Structure 1
């Protein structure tokens, strides 16, 4: 049976590794192609997207997967909605694999906001030197904030428009608490902006912010599509696929 994984995350790579070991399964992982040098999963890989829900519907109809697992980033709302529509149209079982968000703990000073625009609106009252870790595609939202200085970290270079006062670091996790503390101190950062992506690869910045007393602007993740079974653990996703594969 063919299983399609909509991937690009650490969980998607772990799921692909778990599924290729099962007999009778052919595993194909799809990457959006937004990262120039992505970490590739085991098994077959296709890249570049499908062209919206209609394109994904056509791909499913042509290739006949027995199951689809949406293991995209928690903020990949468009892809998740496309998967829900395409699987509903073709009758193919769909599972969402979404890692839990980060919980706020004692000593944290978080401001939860519903969007990147709300994060930008809140910043001037919170600090002047911003650690921006919301991804390269988010920088245009912060470009109008000419009175702030930004340290923006992303895997690939951002595209304009970008804030006038921005220094870009190209890097990818995992990060350490010691390294994040040093980065914050070196650049005299006084506020952190991030998305509630969850996971351990990038959690160190939150620990460092807590230890140094930095406020955190936390952008809430969009809701998962309705009517789609959701799991948070790779092992549960493997079990789901195995059950649907008979």
Structure 2
């Protein structure tokens, strides 16, 4: 079966590798925002499609038999486009969406709907570990009454103001390392998205142990799709190559 995976996550890479090994014809599409990404097996396409019409046209022209959205839970527009483009091209859509994190006993979470709400929720003089990526960064940087450690994989395009420092690292992270970072920087608040997954979950355990307050940005809601929660479930749903 010829499969297009909208990728960019560890799960997408694992899925592509396993599908190729099972004999599927797989193309992974990457947005191209990350320098030197870890590449999966199979074909590769980098760059935007040109909205819903562009993606639908590609699905038809490439003879795609199955579309898999394995992007980040906060990928946003591409996940919205995938629903409409799959319907327009009459191609089935499978969404691989890792389960969200669930608040545990001892957690001090405040859940908000956007980066703007998260920035507004920060108290005066907060020392913040910000792990929300590039999107919406401007909402936090205007809060010059707070101090920020901005942790990203790629450096943001804009120069950070004096009340923010850049920590450019790539997951996975360990609980002890996360605790050491929070203690070293005097972190009082962690701002993050509910991305789910194991690679970045240790920051939540570290915050729980240290009494750091968490401002959690809730996931967006996407359109209808056959949705699975793991690579194993996706392999089962897609079936054999023949």
TM over 0.5: yes
C-alpha distance in 2, partners of 1:95/1:53?
17
Show the 5 A alignment for 1:190-229: 190-225=188-223, 227-229=224-226
Alpha carbons of 1:169 and 1:161: their partners in 2 closer, same or farther (altered >3 Å)?
closer
* Residue in 2 that maps onto 1:69: 68
TM-score (norm 1): 0.95
Separation in 2 of the partners of 1:218 and 1:186? 22
For residue 138 of structure 2, the aligned residue among 122, 137, 140 is 140
CA shift, 1:137, in A, is 3.0
Partner of 1:9: 9
Residue number in structure 1 paired with 2:78: 79
CA contact (8 A) 1:3 1:65 kept: yes
Shift of 1:161: 6.2
**CA contact 2:141–2:164 (8 Å) conserved in 1:** no
- C-alpha RMSD over aligned residues: 1.4
Gaps of 5+ in 2: none
Spell out, residue by residue over 1:116-147, the C-alpha distance to the aligned partner (whole angstroms, 9 max, x if none): 1110010125x511000001233212121011
Structure 1: 5+ residue runs without aligned partners? none
Q: Which residue of 1 aligns with 2:115?
A: 116
Choose from 234, 238, 242 the match for 1:237.
234
Residues 1:99 and 2:93 are matched in the alignment: no
User: Is the 1:142–1:163 Cα contact (8 Å) retained in structure 2?
Assistant: no
Task: Deviation per CA, 1:60-89: give whole Å up to 9, x if none.
Answer: 111011101000000012001111111100
1:101, 1:188 → 2: CA distance? 27
Output the TM-score relative to the length of structure 2. 0.96
